[in-house]
Structure 1
Amino acid sequence: MNTATPSTTGTAEQNFAQTPAPVSVREAGAPVQQAPTEARLSLRLAIGLIGVLLASLLAILNEQVTAVAMADIRGAFSIGHDDGTWLTALFEATNVATMVFAPWFGVTFTLKRFTIGAVLATMFFGILCPFAPSLLALYVLRALQGVAGGCLPPMLIIVALRYLPPKIKLYGLAGYALTATFGPALGTPLAALWTEYVSWQMAFWQIVPLGLVSCVAIQQGLPLDPSKLERFRSFNWRGFLLGFPAIAMLVIGLLQGDRLDWLNSTFICVMLYGGTLLFVAFLVNEWFHPLPFFKLQLLSRRNFAHGLLTLVGAVVLLVGVAVIPAQYLAKVHGYRPLQTTPLALLLAIPLLIALPLTAAVLNIRRVDCRWVLAIGLSLMATTCFMGSFMTSEWIRENFYWLQSIQIVAQPMVILSILMGVTTGLPPTEGPFASAMFNSLKSFTAVAATGLIEGLGTAREHFHSSMLVDRLGNNALITSQSIDSAHGLGELAHRVHEQAVVLTSADLYLVMAGIALAFLLVIPVLPVRIYPPWSTTPPSSR
C-alpha cells in the first residue's frame, strides 16, 4: 500500500496477510528473497478452496446458461427481442461493475462470510426470477443477481494468492482458468439440457445444488478471520460513486450499441461518452486515494502490465472462437443449442485434463512462460486463419478439428497470463490484482461481444450489397432464379447464407490478426519469471 494509507488500514492489511504464502522469484533482475519454511495445504483448507472454486464456477454458469437459453426465457415471459436484450444488459452491467469493488468488501467482511453471502444471494434471486410478476420486476431481479454474482469470481484469485503453497499455486490458478474456459464452454450443453428435456426455469435454478455444496465447503474449510469494519472509516466513496455508474454505463452502451445503431443513437452516445468521462475521473481518483479499489501503481511492473494487456486480446479471442461457429451454425443451418452441444463438449471436457497438464509444464523451472504464451497465441492464430476458409457446406463436424487445437492453445494462453500477473504478488496486493484482473476480463468479454456484433452486422450488410449488385449485373441468372420453383424467396435465402459465410470468414481473419498482434508484444514487454516455488534462478542460464 502507499505510505499515505491510514494506520487502521495498514493494520487491516497486516491481518489479511496473517497466513501468507512464500513469495516466489520475481521478475528477472529483482532481488531474490529467501523463502520461509514451506507451508502445507491441509485437507480442510483444500475443501474451502474447492468451495470458492465452485462458487466462481456457479457465477459463470449462471451467466452463460441464461444467455444461451434467453430465447426460451423470452418465450416463457412473452417478451419481445428488444425487451429481452435488457435482461442481458442489466445483468452484465451490474455484474462487471461489482467486480471492481468486491475484493474490498471481501477483505472487510472476511472472505468466508462475504463469499457465502454472495452465493446465497445469487441463489435467492435466481429462485425468484421465474416467478417475477412483471417485466420490470424481472429486470430488477436480474440486476440484483448480477451484483451478487459479480462478487464471486474475484474471491478465487484472492484465496489462491493467500492460502496456496508455492508448489501448487499454479494448479490453483489452473482452477481459476477453469472458470474462464471450461465454464463458458459448459454453458451451451447445460442450456440445451434444461430447455430441451427439463424446463426453462432450470436455467435459473440449476445453480442451487452447486451453491449449497459450495457454501458447505467454504463454511467447513476456510478459516474465519475477524471482520475489519474499521476500514469503512476510510472508504473510497468518491471512487465508488464514480466507478460503478461509469462501468455500468459503458457495458450498457456496448451491449445495446448494435441494436440502436451505435453513435447514431443519443442514448448510446450518453452511455459511452458519459461512461468514459466518469471512468477517467475514477482512474484519477484511484491514483491519489490512499485506499483505492484499483492500485494503478501495480502497472509499473512489466509482467503485470503485460498480463493485463494480453488478457484483453485473449478474452477477445476466447469470445470469438466460441461465438463465430455458434452464430454461423444457427443462421445458416438453423442449429439449436442442443445441436451445438457436441461442439462445446469437445472443448470443455478435455480442458479438465489440459489445464492441470499445462500447469505442470509451467511449474518446471526451465520452462519460460513467454514461450508457452507465444506457442498458445500462434496456435490460436492458426486456428482462426484456417477457419477463414469456411464455406456454406461446413457443418458441426467441420469445426471439430479447429476446436481440437483450442484444447491445447487456450490453457497455454490463460495460465501464462495468470502466472505473469500473480508471480511476485504478496497476499496484501491480492485484492487489488483480483479487482483489476477480473473486472478487465469481464469488461473485455462484453466489449468483444459488442465488437463481434457490430463488425458482423457491418460486414454482413457489405457482403449482401455486393452479392445483390453482382446478381443485378447478371440478368440471366436473376431471371432464372425468380422464375424457378422457389422464386425470389430462395434467391434471398441464398444471398443471406453467403453473406453470413463471408462475414464469419472475415471475423476469423480479424481474430487471427489480434492473436498475431499480441504475439508481437511478447519479445518487447514481459521479462523472464520462474515458477512460484522457485526461490533462486537456475545456476546456469
Structure 2
Amino acid sequence: MNTANTSTVETQDPPVGQSSEAVATPLQPKPAQAVLSRRLAIGLIGMLLASLLAILNEQVTALAMTDVQGVFSIGHDDGTWLTTLFEAANVATMVFAPWFGITFTLKRFTIGAVIATMFFGFLCPFAPNLFTLYALRVLQGIAGGCIPPMLIIVALRYLPPEVKLYGLAGYALTATFGPALGAPLAALWTEYVSWQMVFWQIVPLGVLSCVAIQQGLPPDPLKLERLGSFNWTGFLTGFPAVAMVVIGLLQGDRLDWLNSGFIRVMFGGGTLLFVTFLVNEWFAPVPFFKLQMLSRRNFSHGLLTLTGAVILLVGVAAIPGQFLARIHTYRPLQTSPLSLLVAIPLLIALPATAAVLNLKRVDCRWVMAIGLSLMVTTCLMGSFMTSEWVRENFYFLQSLQIVAQPMLIMAILMGVTTGLPPTEGPFASAMFNSVKTFSAALATGLIEGLGTAREHFHSHVLVDHLGNNALIASQSIDAAHGLGELAHRVHEQAVVLTSADLYRVMAGVAVALLLLVPVLPVRIYPPWTTTPPSSH
C-alpha cells in the first residue's frame, strides 16, 4: 500500500452537542507529499546522465574492442578478456552498490563512482601493457557498476507518486536507449574521430552529471555506523560467485563450455558460492538481497520476466547485426541505422508508455502482454530470413521494437516498484539491477553457444547432403567455379539457418513469458492512486 497517499484516522464518540467532525483526531499526521522542485529535477537529470554514461561506456567499449585490440596488437583470445573482466566486475558490483550508496549517501557515492569511471577510462589508452589494461578495465567495471542502481533508489525516494512512472521511464531509457546508441557511437569514434574516444567519450557527460547531482540532490548524513554491521560473509561469497559465473558465460563458447576444466570450475565454484550467499542473505540481519521480497507475486514475476526480457532485447539487437556482418561484411557504421531506428523514437515512446500506465483504468498486465506479443511477431517474422536480406529488410522488424520494448520494460518496472516503501528501495534496486546485468551476460552466452552449435549442425547437414548427392555436388562445384566458392556458399547458408533458429528461440522465450502473464502477476494500480495495490 502506498503510505504516501493515505493517513490513519481514528474517531471517538462525540460529547453531547458536538459533531463527530469536530472531535475526529488523527493518530498520525498525514505524511508530507514529495514535491518535484526545479532543483531536485536537476539532480534527477544528473542521475539519469550518470546511468546513461555507465551504459554507454559498457556498450561502446565492447563493440569497439576489435579496433582497440588492433591498436594494442592484442590477439583475439587475450582480447576477449578485456570485455569479460569488465562485465564480471560490473555485474558483481551491482549486488552491493546500493548498500554502499546508503552508507556513504547517494550524492557522494554516485559522484565518486562517476569520477572513478572517468578516471580509469581516461587512463586506458595509456596502458603500457596488457595486464595494466586488464586491471584498468576491472577497476572501471567496478566503478561503472556502482552507478545504475542509484537511479532507481533516487526515483523511489524523491519522486512524487504522480510522476514516479516517468522517473522509471528515465531508468528504462538507460536500459533501452543507451544500448541502442552503442553501435552508432562506436562507429563514429572508430571510423571518423579516434579510437581513444571509445574510452574518453564519457568525460564530458560525466562532468555534467556530477555538477547536476551536486547541485540538485538534497544532502544526506553519512551513515558510517553501518560499516560496523557490514555483511562480510555475503560480500566474500557473493562477489566472487557472480564474477565466476559471468566469466564462465562469456568465455564458455571460446573454451568449449563444460569440455573445459576452467569453465567447469567457474560454473561449479560460482554456483556453490552463490548458494552459500543466498542462504546467508536469508538469515543476515543486514542483507544485500532481501529475499523475503520474493514472496510478493508481482516482485518475483517482475524479476523472472526481466530475465527473459533482457534475453529478448539482447537477442533481437544482436541477431541482425551479426547476420549482416557475417553475410554482407557490414561494419558497425553500416548497421548503425538499425540501432538508431529504435533509439531515437524511444525518447518519445517511453514517456508515452509511462503516461498510459499512469491511467488508473489501464492494467499493466495487458500492456506487458501486448509488448510480448509484438516481440513474438518480430521473432517469427525474422525466422523467415534468407541470404538476400540486407539492412532494409530489418527495418520493419526494428520498428516493432519501438512499441514493444517500452511496453514490456515499463510494465516490469511498475510491477516491481509499485507499493515498495522507500526503505526497501535499495534492496529492490540491488536485486533488479543484478538480475538485469546478469541476464545480459546470460543472453550473450546463450546466443554465442547456441549459435555455434546450430551453425556446426547446419554445416554438417549441408555437407552431408551434398556428399550424398554426387550430381548436385558436381553441378554446384561447376556453378561455383571451385571448392572454395562452394564452401563459402555452404557457410553462408549455415549462418542464415542459424540466425533463423536464434529468432525462433527468442520467440519461444517471449511465448513462455506471455503464458506467465495471466497466471502469476496480480492487478496493480499507478503509484498516485489511493487504491491499494495487491502484491501477494
Q: TM-score normalized by structure 2?
A: 0.94
Pairs within 5 Å for 1:51-450: 51-450=46-445
Number of the residue aligned with 1:10: none
Structure 2 distance, partners of 1:482, 1:521, is: 51
Work out which of the residue numbers 525, 530, 533 in structure 2 matches 1:530: 525
Separation in 2 of the partners of 1:81 and 1:273?
26
1:424-472 Cα distance to aligned partner (Å, 9 max, x none):
0011100000000000100010011000100000000000001101111
Shift of residue 485, structure 1, vs aligned partner: 6.5
Q: Distance in 2 between matches of 1:142 and 1:450?
A: 20
Shift in Å at residue 338 of structure 1?
Answer: 0.1
Q: 1:489 Cα shift? A: 0.9
Q: Could you list the per-position Cα deviations for residues 365-399 of structure 1 after superposition, in whole angstroms to 9, with x for gaps in the alignment?
A: 00000000001001101110111000000000000
SS for the counterpart of 1:347 is: helix
**Distance in 1 between the 2:97 and 2:29 partners?**
33
**Any unmatched runs of 5+ in structure 1?**
1-20, 26-32
Q: Which of these residues, 490, 494, 498, is aligned with residue 503 of structure 1?
A: 498
Number of matched pairs: 511
Q: Is the 8 A contact 2:4 2:33 kept in 1?
A: no
Query: Which digits, 9 at most, give the CA deviation of each residue in 1:75-127, with x for residues without a partner?
Result: 00001110000001000000000000000000000000000000000000000
What is the CA–CA distance in structure 1 between the aligned matches of 2:136 and 2:452, rounded to whole Å?
31
> Following the alignment from structure 1 to structure 2, what is the Cα–Cα distance between the partners of residues 513 and 466?
24
Q: Could you tell me how far apart the structure 2 residues matched to 1:470 and 1:536 are?
A: 64
1:24–1:423 contact (8 Å) kept in structure 2 = no
Q: Give the corresponding residue for 1:513.
A: 508
Higher relative CO (Cα under 8 Å, sequence separation at least 6) belongs to 1
- When normalised by structure 1's length, the TM-score is 0.93
Q: What secondary structure does 2:187 align onto?
A: helix
Rg bigger for which structure? Answer: 2
Assess if the C-alpha contact under 8 Å between 2:233 and 2:280 holds in 1.
yes
Q: Distance in 1 between matches of 2:150 and 2:511?
A: 32
Which residue does 1:30 correspond to in 2? none
Could you tell me whether the CA contact under 8 Å between 2:47 and 2:213 is conserved in 1? yes
The SS at the match of 1:146 is: helix
1:37 is displaced (CA, Å) by: 4.6
Cα deviation code 1:473-500 (max 9, x no counterpart): 2212322343457411110110000000
1:307-329 deviation digits (Å, cap 9, x = unpaired)? 00100110000000001111000
Shift of 1:23: 4.0
CA contact (8 A) 2:379 2:507 kept: yes
Distance, in Å, in 2 between the alignment partners of 1:237 and 1:378 is: 44
Deviation, 1:39, is 2.5
* Residue aligned with 1:529, SS: coil
Local SS of the residue matching 1:490: helix
Please report how far the alpha carbon of residue 537 of structure 1 lies from its aligned counterpart in structure 2 after TM superposition: 6.4
Q: Distance in 2 between matches of 1:282 and 1:23?
A: 34
- 1:461 and 2:456 equivalent? yes
Residues 24 and 531, structure 1, Cα contact 8 Å, conserved in 2: no
Matches of 2:500 and 2:432 in 1, distance apart? 31
- 1:217-253 CA-to-partner distances (Å, cap 9, x unmatched) read 0000011111000001110000000000000000000
Letter in 2 for 1:534: T
CA contact 1:34–1:535 (8 Å) conserved in 2: no
Is the 1:22–1:38 Cα contact (8 Å) retained in structure 2?
no
Instruction: Please list every run of 5 or more consecutive structure 2 residues that lacks an aligned counterpart in the other structure.
Output: 7-27
Counterpart of 1:302 in structure 2: which amino acid? R
